[in-house]
Amino acid sequence: MSFDFNADDIFEMAEQIERNGAQFYREAAMGVSDPRSRTFLTQLAAMEDEHEKVYAELRKELKEQERTPTVFDPNDEAVLYLRALADARVFIEQTVDFRSMESILKTAIQTEKDSIAFYLGLKEIVPLALGKKRIDEIIKEEMGHIQLLSRELVALAV
């Protein structure tokens, strides 16, 4: 069985991925000993929290057509499925040395890249009428994360 995702579904997954990212950065912050690194990682966690709120607000602004369920789901099981899918794809089950800022940053950059690939793949299965263009907003945010993390990684090497 196959069904199309709509923009509401995608934003639901994006919110979960941001929650996972915030958790990752908080765990990483607890593992590093350098106060500057700890502050940076805590700020990243706060950014992920903020992005989750932004995505929730964007969901509220969706047109009715972009919220239209694509399957009959009287028990809201699709939400559980989408959260599990997001959990399985990004920021979960990472093997990271949380004592090494370099390891943390490299893992974070890779997971951000993975999230972009995930959203690009989802974009291909969201019909235009169900909010396909909205996914670009999420991808743009994730690309900004990569730039920030990459600058910090380069700064470590200096």
Q: What is the pLDDT of residues 60-117, one digit of tens each?
A: 887 777 666 666 666 766 666 666 666 665 555 567 888 999 999 999 999 889 888 8
HSE on the CB side for 128, CA within 13 Å? 0
Greater pLDDT, 16 or 62: 16
CATH of the domain spanning 7-69+95-157, picked from 2.60.40.10, 2.40.50.140, 3.40.50.620, 1.20.1260.10: 1.20.1260.10
Alpha-carbon distances of 1 from 4, 71, rounded to whole Å? 11, 10
How large is the average pLDDT for residues 24-29?
94
Does residue 149 register a pLDDT over 50?
yes
pLDDT at residue 1 tops 50:
no
Band (pLDDT 50/70/90 cuts) for residue 13 is: confident
Question: What was the pLDDT predicted at 71?
Answer: 61
Predicted confidence at residue 74, as pLDDT, reads: 65
- Tell me the pLDDT of the chain averaged across its residues: 82
Question: What pLDDT band is residue 37 in, cutting at 50, 70 and 90?
Answer: very high
Sequence spans of domains, the chain: 7-69+95-157
Rounded average pLDDT over 1-18: 75
- Yes or no: say if 126 and 5 are a contact pair by the CB < 8 Å rule: yes
pLDDT in tens, 133-147: 778 888 998 899 999
pLDDT at 117: 85
pTM over 0.85: no
